[in-house]
Amino acid sequence: MVILHSDNSVEAGQNAASDLKRYAGGGIYIALGANMGASPRLTLEKAIAYMPQMGMTPRAISSFYSTAAVGPTPQPDFVNTVIRVETALPVYELMEMLHRIEAVFGRVRRERWGPRVLDLDLLDYQGMVIPPVGPQGLAAGLGPIPLVLPHPGVAERGFVLLPLRDIAPGWRHPVSGAHIEVLIAHLPAAEKAGIAPIAAK
């Protein structure tokens, strides 16, 4: 496994060559969500269409899913999807572009896990691993959390795993190596109960 630290230094284990082979060619996957505005789905579609202006080309788009909102604030259900993109942007520049797209669409960070007009999460960047640094979750307060890869919630979130499976049925978690079907099978029933595919237009 090859680990990229926040200072861009690289750590490689004894099995780096085999791990690189295992995860080489992995995609770049981004989760999108929204639950504000007249049409959250339209917001996601527009955000995807805007991405080429920011240096990334969408290559695959999952189905759209309706997801019951969780968190301390009562709020509408989310619309979620996952896409695979191609880009020449290095990982930190890609994250900067994703934050810029959120801002273009009016995202203002007022509370953690609150309603949002657009949320873009980098799930996986070709199997790269970036360990967490500093506070996470609610302890991090407002503003972007330092990048962690794979996304720290990817293995526990049905609204990420189900759409990710649509476009990457063979995906494996870059750290644990767990197959996506195994991760989905281990989701609590309550986690999957509030998620439903939205009929295609």
Which residue bears the tokens 């695979």?
Answer: 84
Q: How far apart are the first and last CA of the chain?
A: 42
Q: Answer yes or no: 119 catalytic.
A: yes
Out of 84, 116, 165, 172, pick the active-site residue.
116
Token pair belonging to 165:
């499976």
Peptide bond into 150 cis (omega under 30): yes
CB 124 within 8 A of CB 149: yes
Out of 22, 100, 107, 109, pick the active-site residue.
107
Out of 19, 84, 121, 124, pick the active-site residue.
121
Out of 19, 84, 119, 157, pick the active-site residue.
119
CA angle, 173 then 174 then 180, to 5°: 15
* In 115-199, beta strands by DSSP E: 119-125, 195-197
Q: Answer yes or no: 124 catalytic.
A: no
CB 131 within 8 A of CB 174: no
Which residue bears the tokens 């770049």?
Answer: 28
Q: Answer yes or no: 172 catalytic.
A: no
Q: Answer yes or no: 100 catalytic.
A: no
Give alpha helix (H) positions in 105-198.
158-167, 180-185, 189-193
Task: Give catalytic residues, as residue numbers.
Answer: 107, 116, 119, 121
